[in-house]
Amino acid sequence: MDKKRFIILTKLQTMKKIILILLLSGIQFLSFAQDVIFTKNGKQINSVILDVTPNQIKYKIFEDKEGQVYIIQKNEVSKIVYQNGTADDFSNQEKHQQEKQGEPLSYRNGFWGLTILQGEKKLSTKDIKALYKDNAEALGKFKTGKTLNAIGTIIGIPGGFIFGYQLGTQMAGGKINTTLLAVGAAGFIASIYLTSTGNRSIKESIHIFNSGINKSNSASLDFGLTNNGVGFCLRF
């Protein structure tokens, strides 16, 4: 074997060794990759994240991948740093949610009832309950309103049908059942009353919520006598 060929073979063998080392290093790195959960009380959990829902995080302990599935509430976590280097910062999300909670609500009347808005966003029942969670009075009014609306709908649909059917029969020259006509009319009227009362209760819940925002954001400056003489007093 000539010298030139020997040098080429030696270089090829060296390159193969380098590639093999790099492959083994990559496999070893992947085997040690982990997700890290940072809790608000300063704890770090080396984990394998399984699922992140709006309220919870499901994970396994990194050192026990075949073991128990754990659940931690999202509001207990400040952030997650994933094995690929990306991160979810829940502290910023919570701050944004708190800012959203400071926006006043409005409502719009429609054929299917009230539509509650926060800015331009239409709120679902779940959204509203989340906003009202720290305002028991507003939440109570809202739940009462929704209950009355539901009862009104249950009574109103059959009542309106019975009343309309009997009235249509009479207009067509047929014989009507006065008892059913009265029952249908009573159900329809009761439905209107319950729905109206329910909507009024929901509107009151909006007023209570907005009043709470105004109080938290308001401030007053008073001028007068104090124990140390004349001064200013800023009240929030």
Reported as a single tens digit per residue, the pLDDT across 33-69 is 689 999 989 899 999 999 988 789 999 998 888 899 9
Residue 113 within a domain: no
Residue 96 within a domain: no
- pLDDT at 6 (0 to 100): 55
Residue 147: is its pLDDT beyond 60? yes
How many domains, in total, are found in the chain? Answer: 1
Tokens of 35: 């997700």
Report which residue type is found at 112. Answer: W
Return all residues near 212 (Cβ < 8 A) that are at least 6 apart.
135, 138
Is residue 48 within 8 A of residue 80, CB to CB? The reply is no
Report which residue type is found at 157. Answer: I
Nearest-5° Cα angle at 45, 41 to 47: 150
Residue 106 within a domain: no
Q: What percent of the chain has pLDDT over 90?
A: 31
Residue 142: is its pLDDT beyond 90? yes
Residue 135 within a domain: yes
Residue 55 within a domain: no
pLDDT band at 139 (very low <50, low <70, confident <90, very high): very high
HSE on the CB side for 198, CA within 13 Å? 20
pLDDT band at 5 (very low <50, low <70, confident <90, very high): low
> Tens of pLDDT along 170-216?
788 888 888 888 888 898 899 999 999 999 999 999 999 998 876 65
Report which residue type is found at 177. Answer: N
The residues facing 22 across adjacent strands are none
Residue 219: is its pLDDT beyond 50? no
Residue 102 within a domain: no
Residue 54 within a domain: no
Tell me the whole-structure pTM to 2 decimals: 0.51
Instruction: Report the sign of the C-alpha dihedral through residues 116, 118, 122, 125, in that order.
Output: negative
Give how far Cα 83 sits from Cα of 25, 30, 46, 130, 158, Å: 16, 9, 10, 32, 59
Residue 220: is its pLDDT beyond 50? no
- pLDDT at 199 (0 to 100): 94
Residue 5 within a domain: no
Domain, as residue range, for 128? 124-216
Is residue 141 within 8 A of residue 147, CB to CB? The reply is no
DSSP letter assigned to residue 67: S
Residue bearing tokens 């009235």? 167
- H, E, C per residue of 95-161: HHHHHHHCCCCEEEEECCEEEEEECCEECCHHHHHHHCCCCHHHHHHHHHHHHHHHHHHHHHHHHHH
Tokens of 231: 């001064």
C-alpha closest to that of 77 among 101, 100, 99, 44:
44
